[in-house]
Chain A
Amino acid sequence: MPPPGLLNSLEAVTINVAAFLITMALFGVYVASLGHNPLDVYYVLWLGSFARQISVESTLTNAAPLMLTALCTAIPARAGLLVIGGEGALVVGGVATVLAGVALSGAPFLLGVAVMALAGALAGGLWIGFAGALRQYRGVNETISTLLLNYIAIAVMYHLITGPIRDWDRVLKTSSWSIPQELRVGPLPFIDVHWGLATGVVICLILWIIMRRTTFGFGVDILGGNPRAAQMAGLPINRMVVLCCFIGGAGAGLAGSFEVMAVHGFASESLAVGFGYAGILVAFLSRQNPAAIIVLAILLGGVTASGGLLQRRFDLPDATTQVLQGVLFLVVLASNAAYGRLSLFQPAAWRTT
């Protein structure tokens, strides 16, 4: 008999692959109804995401922030919370990074980058940690509060970049001051993708180990599974929830840091382009498992990356990828009903043979 852990993983992979295929079939019907050949559309999706080196680079550049924003939903979800504030945490992280970067002009490279990344992570962590504290100490629903915090973060950013920290020399685009050129983060060796990707992978792996191998991770899973049992066991529930929210928010804030340090160099409306919302989808696809997030962020990054090519080839509106994401999300949630139904993956099916 295969070990139950392996069976669970195989079950998740099978159901997710099935959900992905169903989504693609539905999307094919949809584009066919608009008069396009679905096979051509699939081919362009493949071309724009993984077929060539340049598309792989674009896929991975999109995947880097998705890995980190997915943590913002996934880590609190393990403690039983539904946090959807990744977009806002990314934005405050980006703004904090700009402030730190400007203050640090003249600092040595490694110190400067480390402080900027810490500033972004801290800002995002406090942002979502605040929502976690509101939930534990005031009973405020965290889903709604984090959603409101998204809008507040974006409004605060617009306030800052149109006035207090605006770079008036940049005429074509409203943006904040730029971080010093010498503190910009470059690409990884061998591939033109910024260091945020490596950071995202390492952080996801570290959190995967923490969640699986430490007392803290075990306690969080008890809390997520049965809060009353966690209370009986004397776990510090409030502190654990706030800490999980802080970790998740720090991930999304770090995503904002890298968007500023490696991609844009300043804060502008380009920070709030939906990485936070797509991260929620990645978290649910990966069933809140940080290691699986790495793979699924790359998959979703591919969908995002091929959006531009899809638009140009078939003259589709830019909302096409959003429709595709929405359908995928709905199908994946519906596929939750299939867990435990496929007898092949139940230990009992193997015991009798």
Chain B
Amino acid sequence: MEGTDISWWSVLIAVIGGAIRVSTPYLFVSLGETITEKSGRVNLGLEGVLVMGAMSGYATAVLTGEPWLGVLVAGCAGALLSLVHALVCNLPRVNDIAVGIALFIFGTGLAFFLGKPFINPSAPRLPDIDLGWWSASPQVQSALKINMLFVIGFVLALGLAWALKTTRWGLVLRTVGDSEEAAQALGYNIARVRTLGTVAGGFLSGVGGSYLSLYYPGTWNEGLSSGQGLMAVALVIFARWDPIRCFYASLLFGGATALGPALQTVGITANYYLYGAAPYFLTLALLIYSSSPKRALEGAPGEVSINR
């Protein structure tokens, strides 16, 4: 019995460590999508943006040897790709969700196309921060190796929550997202605010992609992202468009994603693919749980089409 106790502990530690390690891309994409959706648009193409960010960040790190430059370039590539989404959606009678699907196909295609030469060379990784020094257990130590981007993401979530609530910029964004008529009456340029919101969201998603290729799993290949960008969009709904809740939800999703590999480390390999699908099941279950046919979700921007 002793033995099984220990292995369950190590699964738990591996899941917690995995949650911290895996959650960062979810966090960045969901924060980015929160900004975009607060402006009244849905960008479903963030999966494509994420993959594009992963590719361009990795390529930059290979070519220059500077992983942090890779992060910056990944953000810019994401912003550029999202600008396409914003500009197409600024045209009349264009469905933003459909444009998102197109961007998803286009972005992943472009990333695979341009990233082909970078599958083999290895890039320098982003550095760790060691928070597990106090523990003698190597498992705890490895679980508490935290990446700087995770910390930045956490600070960003706090900052974004504050900015949306108290700054003039946040108020303008929320007004445009909640009621086009009100924003128009106040003289705001709706298209410009939404363009900026989409581009900012794309920048963050691109950064999230660079985490995939430059830290964990830390390589570039065509199977790198398995829908994290899409799940992050669902995660925003679950988090009720609140940056702080995005942070908790990202941890939860990260833990679910880490479940399969964690069980594998203790020798449970049966049903590997089903455990691998845990985040999708979790997302769907949470959506079913938190949605309601009778009312719009609390905290939802009024102009967001995903809500009507």
Contacts and interface: CB of A to CB of B under 8 A. Distances in A.
A336 B93 contact: yes
Contacts of A158: 273
Q: Size class of B's contact patch?
A: 35 or more
Listed residue (A82, A162, A280) with the most chain B CB atoms within 10 angstroms of its CB: A82
B113 A320 contact: yes
Nearest to A141: B306
B278 to A, nearest CB: 9
A349 interface: no
A152 B306 contact: no
B280 A139 contact: no
B36 to A, nearest CB: 15
A323 B110 CA distance: 6
Interface string B107-118: 111111100100
Q: Size class of A's contact patch?
A: 35 or more
A323 B106 contact: yes
B284 A145 contact: yes
A151 B293 contact: no
B101 interface: yes
A138 B306 contact: no
B273 to A, nearest CB: 4
Interface in A277-301: 277, 280-281, 284
Given A155-B277, A337-B94, 13 more contacts: A139-B292, A148-B287, A149-B284, A151-B280, A158-B273, A163-B270, A280-B101, A322-B105, A322-B113, A326-B107, A329-B101, A330-B84, A330-B106
Interface of B: 44, 84, 88, 91-95, 97-99, 101-103, 105-113, 116, 226-227, 230-231, 233-234, 237, 270-274, 276-277, 280-281, 283-284, 287-288, 291-294, 306-307
20 contacts: A134-B288, A136-B293, A148-B231, A148-B234, A148-B280, A280-B101, A317-B116, A319-B113, A322-B106, A322-B108, A325-B109, A326-B105, A330-B99, A330-B102, A330-B103, A333-B88, A333-B102, A334-B88, A334-B91, A336-B94
Query: 6 nearest interchain CB pairs?
Result: A326-B106, A322-B109, A155-B277, A329-B102, A319-B112, A139-B293
